[in-house]
A and B are shown apart, each in its own frame.
Chain A
Amino acid sequence: MTSDMVNINTDNTISAPSQRTVSADELLLRAPRARAFITGSEAVSEAVKRANIDMSIAYPITPQSESMHLIGDLYAQGYVRDYYRAENEFAVMAAVHGAALGGGRVFTATSGPGTLRAMEMFPVWAGSRQPIVCAFMCRGVALPPSIQPENIEMAFLLDTGMLMFHAENAQDFFDMILAGYAIAEQPEVHLPVGVFADGFFVTHTREVVMLPPDDVKLPAYSPDIAPIQPFDMEHPPVRQTRDPLMNKSNFTSYAASASWHQEILAAAERARKHINKYMGGLIEISNPNAEIMIIASGTAASQSREAIRILEREGITVGLIKVKSVRPFPTREIIMATEMAKLIVVPEFNAGGWLAREVKASLNNNDRVLAGPRVFGGMAMPSEVIVDEIKKVINNKC
């Protein structure tokens, strides 16, 4: 018995649509934008369409699947040069690692349990200094089982070495994926980027997104500017593995591993100025002088804006610090933005409260921090819940 051989489309026979190459600065910061009424999944596809991707590898999981279907369509149209469905998420993340070793630009996406199944590969990406961009359409994991929106998976990824950006809406999702490549591929950064959005709320709803024209794309990735060389046997291969030494039992080996790891952490620090440039900062602040500040990321920031409007009508002024970059974490920015704050509220879409932990660890006088409210298991976060939490504190103090 022989299986039918699949014709692998790696010969680049599909003619690529005509797109003009423009710089990341032009595409992200200067190109005119037009309104589109699209879902978050479609926003991902619109970003990939303009990102000059060599290869994308897919595996289905709710609520990520639709975006990777659309990227399959982009492959069929010639916007992405190679694409296939792999056998599971660990295989996907291993294969994009292999593709990145080959010196090209890659994209993939996953959700919740897929993130956990693939977990072992994320530190490998950072350890290999690969500028892979991966979208995470966050959902519950089996704690207990849930396919619904929830972003507990972000907690698990905080120390994998990847940069982590949290999109509030489809606009952020589009912008952060493209900015992700611009930031990840800086020679002094060259680290993976995870772009996170709360599943369903962002992926499956339609909103106005301002898009640059689709006849422009990022310049092709060049491994020549990378701090490490690609695995293509075009360079002297003598006695070198590009990856750090696997620990052998000697001090030289420990020191090599530790200094390599320190360099990964330092590279993430060096990303800050590029995040400021391409994403307008690690945080965004509204009502900076308010004595009550909400710190939120993702869709919790949207719900917080509505809560702030409700409280404003009652004469209570509340500010918002929207955290866009979770790694690197905006420690200094949050310290400065909360100098006047007497109450800091951190609403989250997960039971663990990872953002509240990060905030508390960043601040002096962290008894100002109200670590909640939190919703999970798929529940929405009514703005009234945030309002009630804030009022409870105000009333107790009176």
Chain B
Amino acid sequence: MNRRRLLLLLPLGFLLVALFFYQRLQHDPSARDSALMAREFPVFEATTLRDANRHVDQTLLQDDVTLVNVWGEWCPACKQEMPQLLELAEHGIRMVGVNYRDTREKGMSFLNEYGDPFTVNIFDPEGSLGFDLGVYGAPETFLVDADGIIRYHHKGYISPEDVTERILPEVAKWR
């Protein structure tokens, strides 16, 4: 009888596997956290999008909680999320843009057309800051706390729900 009971573990074991698969069905396999989570914002040196003579570096991101949004004129989702970014700026959150793999003219015309929620835009035509941030597509948004530590990462389009359900609570948490 002992052997029977042992054999009955087989179907039970498989049911566990099936449950595991069921749980996996709810997951998006491509969802991943940034490798920079809880680490310092990368060291960089760049000029700003508006002013080729103004130099900025990572100290830009200290003293206040900042949302860093990586965008480009070539990226359709960036256009779609602009109203949400403007709304976030209205909440008094400091917004910094990273103009990623773009030209100055195209970046400026984008801001003129869709609005400019950013206090400053870091000009990153070669994508080197983007690379150090582990960005592999735009838009991506990072929440950096007052000490310059990355606390939250949002990959892709920010929907109006994301603003109220994710981003605003995260900002409140790290302020």
- Is the pairing of A and B real? no
Residues on B lying within 8 angstroms of A by beta carbon are: none
Residues on A lying within 8 angstroms of B by beta carbon are: none
